[in-house]
Structure 1
Amino acid sequence: MTFVQLIDCKTSRFDEMNRLMDTWVEQTRGKRTATHSVIGKDRSDASHFIEIVEFPSYEEAVRNSNLPETDRIFQEMVALCDETPTFTDLDVIRDEQLYEATIRRFFDTVATAGDLPPLNDLMVEHYHDHDPANEQDNLGLDAMRREIEMWRGGFDFSFTVDDQLAQGDRVCTRWTWNGTHTGDFMGIPPSGMTVTMTGTTVFRCQEDGKIAEGWWQYDRLGLMAQLGALDALES
C-alpha cells in the first residue's frame, strides 16, 4: 500500500533548508526509497512549509528513515526550524488521477452522438491546439470546437484509449480511432466505409484540471489511403 508522510515545519531559513535537502538527495542517490516529493508554502504564512513525501509502502519509508544520511540530515533540518517539525503518517486509501480522467472524458465527449457539448467544463477558453495537419494552430475553444465539428461531420467515430501516462501537468494518451465515413470530409463524399487510425496526444492541464494545450500525432495519411484519396496520386 502506498504510504505518504507529511512533514510540517516553520522556518525563516528556507533557502538553507532547500540546499540541505539537495545535499540529502545527492548523498542518498541510489539508496533512498521515496518515489515523489512535493514542498508547499503556506500562502498566509511565508515561514510555514509542508513537505509531502511518497513511498511505495510504509516498510520502504522505514528503510529510508534508517539510512544514516537521513538521520544526519534530519538533525540539521531541525536546527534550521523555528519550532519542532511535526510528522503525519498516511496510508493512501484512494488515489485519483484527475488529469487522466479529464482526458478520457474528453475523448468520450467528442465522440458522443448528438450535439457537441460546450466543452468549457473540459477545456479553457484560451486552449491552444497543435496539429501538424493544420497550417496554423487552433487558438481558442471556439476554433477547437470547429475542428472537432469537421471530424464529426465526416464520421461517426469512437476512441479507444490504449495507453496513458501522466507526469506533472502533462498526460500522454495513445489511442485508436474507429469511424464510419458518413459525411463529406476534406472534399471526399461519404462512402460508408469503416476506417481506423492510431495516434498519440499530449495534453497540458491547468491546476483546476481543465485542458489548456494539446499536441497531436496521428496517421492521417493512412486514413486518407483507406478513403481512396491517394489513388489518384498513384495512378
Structure 2
Amino acid sequence: MPTDRTATNKATLRGLHDALNTRDLEVISKTIDEVVAPNVLFHAPVPMAETGAQALKQVWTVLLRAFPDLHVAAEDMIAEGDKVVVRNLVTGTHQGEYRGLPPTGASVTYGEIFIFRFTGGRVAEIRGVVDVFSQMRQLGMIP
C-alpha cells in the first residue's frame, strides 16, 4: 500500500515529466529548481561539464537543441520508500546537432529507466540507464 510520501514523490515526478514535455527550457529549469536538490547526484551515460541540478538543465538544453519535438512518456512508475523508478519511452526527430552529428531528420524511439531518490521532498539522486546504442543506431552513427 502506498504511503503519503510515495504518492507525493510520484506526483512530483509526474509534474517534472509534464514540464519536460512542454519543451520550454524556462519551464523546465524552473521546475528542476523547485523539485530537484541543487546538489543532486546525477548518474547517467551523458558526458557533461556541469554537476548537480545544472547538469540536468544542461542535458535538457542539449536534447532539445537536437530534438526540438522530444517527448518522454512514462510507461511505468513504481515507488517504494524514498525511491521512485520510472521506465520511459522517448521519441523525437533529429533536427539539430547531437554528439557531433549534424541534423539527419531521423526519428528516434528509445527506452530509458531512471531511479530517483528523494530526501525532504526533493530529488536528491538520479541513476539512469538510457538505450544510447539504439538511439545512435537510429541516427546512423553506428551500423
TM over 0.5, yes or no?
Answer: yes
* In the alignment, structure 1 residue 97 sits paired with structure 2 residue 10: no
CA contact (8 A) 1:110 1:116 kept: no
Secondary structure at the counterpart of residue 147 of structure 1: helix
Kindly state the Cα deviation for residue 148 of structure 1 after the two structures are TM-superposed: 1.6
How large is the RMSD of aligned CA atoms in angstroms? 2.4
Secondary structure at the counterpart of residue 125 of structure 1: strand
For structure 2, the residue ranges without an aligned partner over 5 or more in a row are none
* In the alignment, structure 1 residue 121 sits paired with structure 2 residue 34: yes
Which of 51, 64, 69 is matched with 1:139 structurally?
51
Residue aligning to 2:94: 181
In structure 2, what is the Cα distance between the partners aligned to 1:95 and 1:147? 28
Letter of the structure 1 residue corresponding to residue 87 of structure 2 = R
- 1:63-102 alignment to 2 at 5 Å? 97-102=7-12
Secondary structure at the counterpart of residue 77 of structure 2: strand
Which of 64, 67, 83 is matched with 1:170 structurally?
83
Aligned positions, number: 139
Kindly state the Cα deviation for residue 216 of structure 1 after the two structures are TM-superposed: 0.3
- 1:103-114 alignment to 2 at 5 Å? 103-114=13-24
Letter of the structure 2 residue corresponding to residue 141 of structure 1 = A
Higher relative contact order (CA 8 A, sep 6+): 2
- 1:16-31 alignment to 2 at 5 Å? none
In structure 1, what is the Cα distance between the partners aligned to 2:117 and 2:6? 17
CA contact (8 A) 2:75 2:86 kept: yes
Distance 1:128 1:96, change over 3 A: closer
Secondary structure at the counterpart of residue 110 of structure 2: strand
In structure 1, what is the Cα distance between the partners aligned to 2:107 and 2:126? 27
Higher gyration radius (CA): 1
- Structure 1 stretches of 4+ moved >6 Å: none
CA contact (8 A) 1:129 1:138 kept: no
Kindly state the Cα deviation for residue 137 of structure 1 after the two structures are TM-superposed: 8.9
Secondary structure at the counterpart of residue 34 of structure 2: coil
Which of 73, 76, 83 is matched with 1:160 structurally?
73
In structure 1, what is the Cα distance between the partners aligned to 2:53 and 2:125? 10
Letter of the structure 2 residue corresponding to residue 154 of structure 1 = A
Distance 1:95 1:144, change over 3 A: closer
In structure 2, what is the Cα distance between the partners aligned to 1:95 and 1:213? 16
Deviations 1:124-143 (A, max 9, x none): 11111001343x79522122
CA contact (8 A) 1:179 1:195 kept: yes
Residue aligning to 2:112: 199
Normalising by the residue count of structure 1, what TM-score does the alignment of the two structures yield?
Answer: 0.54
Deviations 1:79-138 (A, max 9, x none): xxxxxxxxxxxxxxx99811011112212212323333322112111111001343x795
Secondary structure at the counterpart of residue 188 of structure 1: coil
